[in-house]
Amino acid sequence: MKPKTAEDRATVDTHHPSAFNHEDLQRFTGYQRPADIERWCQQNGVRYFRGRIGIWTTLDAVNAALGIGLGEQPPTQRIEF
């Protein structure tokens, strides 16, 4: 088997369903430049990672920034009439 080049490694689809890669974040945030996407993540409290092929994050990180956790129930609200 022929060794992979850097270009081959960058185009390999290792996309996990709960991961947002750089292209996903471009669509999600509306920004194109990695620095702008990184700033958006920081301003919105989204934890992210920098990899060889760009910035990426997870659905759990986005949910955590929104205050949505796994298995959490919304707080009970008492409604008075």
pTM higher than 0.85 for the full model? Answer: no
- What is the spatial distance between Cα 39 and Cα 44, in angstroms, rounded to a whole number? 9
From first to last of its 81 residues, the chain has per-residue pLDDT tens of 555 554 444 443 456 788 999 999 999 999 999 999 999 999 999 999 998 888 999 999 999 998 887 655 556 677 777
In Å, the largest CA–CA distance within the chain is 73
The rounded distance, in Å, linking the Cα atoms of 23 and 67 is 24
For the chain, what are the domain ranges?
15-66
* pLDDT tens digits for range 10-30: 443 456 788 999 999 999 999
